[in-house]
Amino acid sequence: MANKHRGEINAVIGGKELVLCLTLGALAELESRLQADDLVALGEKFAQGHVSARHLLAIIGAGLRGGGNQISDEELARMPIENGLKGAAEIAARLLQATFGEVSR
């Protein structure tokens, strides 16, 4: 069960309810994977609203590993996600919101 006070969320991936969390290590993984110099640059990438399938895979994969799940991005890419692409985008958005809070515009 996810602990919202630690920035965790639950999501149905591969037919199982799993916990995802963008821990410090998961955020460092994302910075490296998405070639962002720091957390500000990482946030700016997502704030622009241009999110690719690679971004979704990187965010969800890092969140899964941060939540204690030993699932590689290659394995994740083959797993069904509840509600397909829309569901993947919603998972990524919920995970980023749980980590960084509400974004003000």
On whether residue 33 sits in a domain, the answer given is yes
Summarised one tens digit per residue, pLDDT across range 32-63 is 998 999 988 888 877 777 788 999 999 999 99
Please say if the pLDDT value at position 104 is more than 60. no
Looking at the structure of the chain, the number of domains it has is 1
Query: Angle formed by the axes of helices 84-100 and 53-66, to 10°?
Result: 60
Average pLDDT, stretch 82-100?
A: 93
On whether residue 104 sits in a domain, the answer given is no
On whether residue 16 sits in a domain, the answer given is yes
Q: What's the per-residue H, E or C state across 6-32?
A: HCEEEEEECCEEEEEECCHHHHHHHHH
Cα angle 51, 37, 55; round to 5: 20
On whether residue 32 sits in a domain, the answer given is yes
> Which is nearest to 46 in space by CA: 92, 101, 98, 104?
92
Q: Please give the residue range of the domain that contains residue 42.
A: 4-98
DSSP 104: P
